[in-house]
Amino acid sequence: MAQDTRRSVSIHRTAAKQFVATNARGGELTVGEGRDGEFTPVELLMTAIGACSGIDVDILTSRRSEPESFEMEVSGDKIRDDAGNRMENLELVFRVRFPDGPDGDAARDVLPDAVTRSHDRLCTVSRTVELPSPVNVRTE
């Protein structure tokens, strides 16, 4: 059976410098320049990197033990120069704690490998950012 690989979101303007993105399941997310707590596109990029890898790591570690805490921080520098605007020095830091005991030990043991596997192969978002991924833009 053929696998459906296509993904899409629709985005419409709701006000000056404010948009709503809607996914195929009807979920909505407000995006803008950062006023009133809304996420900026750059913050969404960093969120996507962290959440994508976080899901991978959670799947691989929580099979062994439920974490006591699971937090991540994504940071980077927004650069504006002759080459154009972009993010540099992106960094994803995991802070995950598991309970004492054999199950927690097992989860702790696989955590470094889970983070590496997510970064090197599993996380579609960070893999797309790191590999050449042209964005075709057109008008209709």
Selecting from 3.40.190.10, 3.30.40.230, 3.30.300.20, 3.30.590.10, what CATH number does the domain 41-130 have? 3.30.300.20
Note the pLDDT of residue 4.
87
Question: Rounded to an integer, what is the distance from CA 109 to the centroid of its chain?
Answer: 24
Query: Distance (Å, rounded) from C-alpha 29 to C-alpha 27?
Result: 7
Note the pLDDT of residue 36.
84
pTM to 2 decimal places: 0.91
**Residue boundaries of the structural domains of the chain:** 9-39, 41-130
Question: pLDDT tens, 94-121?
Answer: 999 999 999 999 999 999 999 999 999 9
